[in-house]
């Protein structure tokens, strides 16, 4: 094992998959000459050339559609969105075309395409650049969605996504690109299955279900709660769809209390679906109401203090956990 950044882990995953399979290529705005807006594709153009690392015009709907067409004829495109807020421009391609082609063609066309890039609020980007899109895309049959929160998960989930024969969205965290973590040594073919949650911290009193940006918040909250004799378990979903329901139910059956921490707004959100699944399957295991910590249901403010007031944080998770414990 060695310590590398989230950005480096994604870069390694891309390099390994492009080298392993001649059908894999990367395309997106500034991924080649500029080495990526967040330097995730640093050095890939020099290593693999302009036929494998392709700069596109500022036209998300166009290059997302081009990627889907390439996937229909046997290639494995990795399409980078500079931010998933910009994926809304390509909503027709991602929602109407990529996930439906297999069924509509009677099984003639698989669409092995990966859409990746930063998702969710970062820091003072305003309302139109701060969207957390996971609940929008999770509503669409045929799409798979993963949300890596650590460098190791970022590398393993991205490599798995590229090899999947279906459209997969890898929703990264812009604020995590410089975060460091332990990742398997180079040469290890690190693959993390989609739909497999991970307990990031074991506990017995309350389960904090989280993903993406809320994972470090949940871990910080668990440390604070430990000082008050509340032993919190932190369950990182890692994938929104498929959802690891058995892992969720096992943890809740152990702790009997649940806080769901999500980076998106609460109405029709990921937490709402998880709450429904828990009460439907193991209602009698609950000793308290399910609590949710999410964004406030407002457009994201640009003002820094207002933005922080809107976003979930460790303090809000602590308060929710204490309320039900």
Is 60 marked active-site? yes
Q: Is 91 exposed, middle or buried (0-12, 13-18, 19+ CB in 10 A)?
A: middle
Regarding beta strands 144-146 and 168-172, do their DSSP bridges make them parallel or antiparallel, or are they unpaired?
parallel
Helix (H) or strand (E) holding 16: helix 6-20
Ordered by where they begin, the domains of the chain are: 2-183 (3.40.50.970), 198-324 (3.40.50.920)
Q: Which of 139, 194, 150 is nearest to 176 (CA)?
A: 150
Q: Which of 12, 16, 80, 129 is catalytic?
A: 129
Q: Is 12 exposed, middle or buried (0-12, 13-18, 19+ CB in 10 A)?
A: buried
Tell me how far apart the alpha carbons of residues 34 and 139 are, in angstroms, rounded to a whole number: 34
Q: What is the structure's pLDDT at 170?
A: 98
Buried residues in 185-223 as b, exposed as e (16+ CB within 10 A):
eeeeebebebbbbbebbebebbbbbbbbbbbbbbbbbbe
Please give the structure tokens belonging to residue 38: 């967040």
Tell me how far apart the alpha carbons of residues 124 and 265 are, in angstroms, rounded to a whole number: 17
| Per-residue pLDDT tens digits for 19-34 | 999 999 999 999 999 9
Stretches where the chain sits below pLDDT 70 are none
Q: Which of 12, 16, 29, 60 is catalytic?
A: 60
pTM above 0.85, yes or no: yes
Is 131 marked active-site? no
Tell me how far apart the alpha carbons of residues 208 and 318 are, in angstroms, rounded to a whole number: 10
Q: What is the structure's pLDDT at 220?
A: 98
Tell me how far apart the alpha carbons of residues 40 and 173 are, in angstroms, rounded to a whole number: 12
Regarding beta strands 2-5 and 206-210, do their DSSP bridges make them parallel or antiparallel, or are they unpaired?
unpaired
Q: What is the structure's pLDDT at 187?
A: 87
Extended strands (E) in 100-243: 114-118, 144-146, 168-172, 180-183, 198-201, 206-210, 232-236, 239-241
Residues 6 or more apart whose CB falls under 8 angstroms from that of 103 comprise 142
| Per-residue pLDDT tens digits for 44-56 | 999 999 999 999 9
């Amino acid at each position: 094992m060695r310590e590398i950044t989230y950005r480096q882990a994604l870069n390694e995953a891309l390099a390994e998959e492009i080298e392993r399979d001649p059908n894999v290529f990367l395309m997106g705005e500034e991924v080649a000459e500029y080495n990526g807006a967040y330097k995730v594709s640093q050095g890939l153009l020099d290593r693999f050339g302009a036929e494998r690392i392709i700069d596109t015009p500022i036209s998300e709907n166009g290059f997302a559609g081009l990627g889907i067409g390439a996937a229909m004829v046997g290639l494995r495109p990795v399409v980078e969105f500079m931010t998933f807020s910009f994926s809304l421009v390509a909503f027709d391609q991602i929602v109407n075309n990529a996930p439906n082609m297999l069924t509509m063609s009677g099984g003639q066309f698989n669409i092995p395409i990966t859409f990746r890039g930063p998702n969710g609020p970062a820091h003072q980007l305003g309302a139109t650049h701060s969207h957390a899109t996971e609940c929008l895309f999770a509503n669409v049959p045929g799409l798979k969605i993963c949300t890596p929160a650590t460098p190791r998960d970022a590398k393993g989930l991205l490599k798995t996504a590229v090899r999947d024969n279906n459209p997969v969205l890898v929703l990264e965290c812009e604020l995590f690109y410089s975060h460091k973590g332990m990742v398997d040594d180079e040469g290890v073919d690190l693959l993390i299955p989609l739909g497999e949650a991970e307990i990031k911290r074991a506990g017995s009193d309350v389960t904090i279900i989280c993903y993406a940006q809320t994972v470090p918040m949940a871990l910080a909250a668990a440390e604070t709660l430990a000082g008050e004799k509340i032993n919190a378990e932190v369950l990182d979903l890692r994938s929104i769809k498929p959802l690891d329901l058995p892992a969720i139910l096992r943890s809740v059956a152990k702790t009997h209390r649940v806080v769901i921490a999500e980076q998106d707004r609460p109405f029709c959100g990921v937490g709402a679906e998880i709450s429904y699944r828990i009460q439907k399957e193991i209602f009698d295991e609950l000793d308290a109401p399910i609590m949710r910590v999410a964004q406030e249901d407002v457009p994201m403010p640009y003002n820094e203090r207002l933005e922080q007031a809107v976003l979930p944080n460790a303090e809000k998770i602590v308060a929710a956990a204490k309320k039900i414990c």
